[in-house]
Amino acid sequence: MTQDFTPTEMMTIAAARALTNDDVCFVGIGAPSAACNVARLTHAPDITLIYESGTIGTKPDVLPLSIGDGELCDTALFTVSVPEMFRYWLQGGRITTGFLGGAQIDRFANLNTTVVGPYDKPKVRLPGGGGAPEIASNCGQIFITMALTNRGFVDHLDFITSMGHGEGGDHRARLGMKTKGPTRVITDLCIFEPDPVTRELTVVSLHKGVTREQIKENCGWPVRFATETVETPVPTETELSVLRDINARTKRAHEAA
């Protein structure tokens, strides 16, 4: 019988399931890193994980604190310079999937990690884009992991740091972008995918016990639901065990540091 699980665990495991053995994945720190390593330790042992600092094929035993964490270089097949990482690997079209998060997202999966409020006098100044704008543009597809809240899922972005589907429709293609952009947004309550035509985010799967009303209450725009929404399969014993083990190892390692 499956154990009880938290919404964050459901989000992480649902994100992990989206990956395959054949993926070459550009990994973000935090929830994306947890998801990618759960995939590596369960159903996708041959996945290639790449971090922005230039580590290729890394297999961390604990989750990194940052892209500069020594755990990444120590467990990588090899490490390249950051210019080579971006020019040869990313811009060269060699990365199938990018995993991103953000402070804010809109209905077309554009991300803001720059400012909330006017750019010159913002209410909140965020960490910035780093490599995320290039990842969003050049990876074959993008998966986004974020908790579903009114604060994060907003009707209007004050600043677009990383382009999703822009204004919707064929906006990416009109700008000459040849990659798919965001194909899935995994939250702690549900999974969104872009509508095939409008590219507006649409709920395709609800996590166990979550209602449509909960999703509507936590989203800053009028939510659309797919004609046939399904229930997200609950985490298996193995998936939960692997996720909890790596989180426990990570906690012990960081507390001892």
The amino acid present at 199, given as its one-letter code, is R
- Cα separation, 98 vs 175, whole angstroms: 20
Q: What is the CA radius of gyration of the chain?
A: 18
Closest of 70, 18, 35 to residue 247, by C-alpha: 35
Catalytic residue among 9, 52, 71, 134: 52
- Cα separation, 193 vs 199, whole angstroms: 8
Four-residue CA torsion sign, 10, 11, 13, 19: positive
Most distant CA pair in the chain, distance: 54
Q: What's the length of the chain?
A: 257
- DSSP characters for 222-239? --EEEEEEEEPPPPPHHH
Residue 255 annotated in active site: no
Helix (H) or strand (E) holding 193: strand 190-194
Whether residue 191 contacts residue 184, with contact meaning beta carbons closer than 8 Å, is answered with yes
Mark residue 256 as left, alpha or beta (left: phi above 0; alpha: psi -120 to 50; beta: remaining). alpha
Whether residue 43 contacts residue 238, with contact meaning beta carbons closer than 8 Å, is answered with no
Catalytic site residues? Answer: 52
